[in-house]
């Protein structure tokens, strides 16, 4: 039986503009959705739990089914979505809201039983600390937190970031927390580009056993309370950074479930998976397990090209 990962977070349909591409229609995305896509392509059993409106309900069910992703979907007034406008090669972007799907109701889906890992990837506050506490009563699977949606607020239709109690409490419940540069700066006050080790150490103090700070084209750094692991990027032609962090999470989780003791391998596998995502745009990136392993091996064999 393949290992099983449950991903909590609302799916979205986004409009994306980068210096290289511009989507004409809204495309399937979202933190948990992209993690499911990556994990499914790697051969794991994946399940998405979130809200969807009537506007995209039929399309979403078809999109998930044909990509071998199980789901438990709840009704909302509208489907979530963002307009993303990237303005440099470091993944910096302007983000505005196209739709809000609201909080996910607490329920125990039948596929939660025997889950090997639970990933929280909210996009706009839909997973609370109380949600995490209730879920912990029904599973002993480790939690992985991508905190982006726990830190986002909406002001005048634009997305802002601020520290929240949900972030703090969910991080304390989690085995792993993975934050990008903006999120890391929001919760620690530190610039991770200037001192990645100091930043990831500060993130670690929020209570997760393993902390990860991703740095776009500069790679990532992992800290487990004892050792730092500096992870290089897989150098490639990135045309759309949307979902890079989400698929890094998918790759890390996949490798972590194979061997939880080798964080260098897990980080390099995450970097390898993300590199396939950014070479493409949208949910149909051509990821295979063989290609991810090939790229991971190149990163592990070095020499490492980026010094953090």
Helix (H) or strand (E) holding 134: helix 129-136
190 to 35, 118, 158: CA distances (angstroms): 27, 28, 23
Question: 204-252 pLDDT, tens per residue?
Answer: 999 999 999 999 999 999 999 999 999 999 999 999 999 999 999 999 9
Furthest-apart CA atoms within the chain: distance in Å:
51
Q: Answer yes or no: CATH 3.40.1190.20 is held by domain 4-301.
A: yes
User: Given the structure tokens 């790679």, which residue do they identify?
Assistant: 219
Predicted confidence (pLDDT) per residue in 7-45, tens digit: 999 999 999 999 888 888 999 999 999 999 999 999 999
Which pLDDT does position 306 carry in this prediction?
40
Average pLDDT over the chain reads 94
Q: Which two tokens stand for residue 123?
A: 């996009």
Q: What is the pLDDT of residues 140-185, one digit of tens each?
A: 999 999 999 999 998 887 889 999 999 999 999 999 999 999 999 9
Note the pLDDT of residue 175: 98
- Check pLDDT > 60 for residue 116: yes
Average pLDDT over residues 289-302: 95
Global pTM? 0.94
Tell me the pLDDT band of 303, cut-offs 50, 70 and 90: low
Bridging pattern class, strands 4-8 and 117-120? parallel
Residue 64: pLDDT band by 50, 70, 90 thresholds? very high
Check residue 219 and give left, alpha or beta (phi > 0: left; psi -120 to 50: alpha): left
């Amino acid at each position: 039986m393949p290992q099983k990962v449950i991903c909590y977070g609302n799916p979205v349909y986004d409009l994306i503009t980068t210096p290289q591409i511009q989507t004409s229609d809204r495309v399937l995305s979202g933190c948990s959705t992209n993690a499911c896509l990556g994990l499914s392509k790697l051969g794991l059993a994946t399940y998405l739990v979130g809200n969807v409106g009537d506007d995209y309900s039929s399309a979403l069910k078809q999109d998930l089914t044909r990509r071998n992703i199980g789901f438990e979907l709840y009704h909302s007034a509208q489907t979530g979505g963002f307009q993303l406008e990237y303005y440099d090669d470091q993944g910096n972007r302007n983000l505005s809201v196209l739709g809000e799907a609201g909080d996910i109701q607490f329920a125990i889906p039948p596929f939660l039983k025997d889950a090997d890992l639970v990933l929280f990837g909210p996009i706009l506050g839909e997973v609370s600390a109380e949600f995490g506490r209730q879920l912990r009563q029904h599973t002993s699977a480790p939690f992985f937190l991508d905190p982006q949606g726990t830190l986002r607020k909406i002001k005048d239709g634009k997305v802002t970031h601020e520290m929240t109690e949900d972030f703090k409490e969910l991080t304390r419940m989690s085995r792993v927390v993975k934050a990008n540069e903006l999120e890391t700066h929001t919760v620690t006050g530190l610039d991770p580009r200037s001192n990645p080790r100091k930043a990831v150490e500060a993130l670690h103090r929020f209570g997760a056993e393993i902390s990860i700070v991703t740095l776009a084209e500069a790679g990532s750094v992992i800290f487990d309370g004892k050792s730092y692991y500096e992870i290089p990027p897989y150098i490639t032609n990135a045309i759309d950074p949307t979902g890079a962090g989400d698929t890094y999470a998918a790759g890390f989780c996949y490798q972590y479930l194979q061997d939880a003791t080798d964080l260098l391998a897990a980080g390099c596998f995450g970097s390898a998976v993300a590199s396939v995502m950014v070479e493409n745009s949208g949910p149909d990136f051509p990821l295979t397990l063989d290609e991810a392993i090939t790229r991971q091996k190149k990163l592990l064999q070095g020499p490492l090209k980026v010094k953090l």
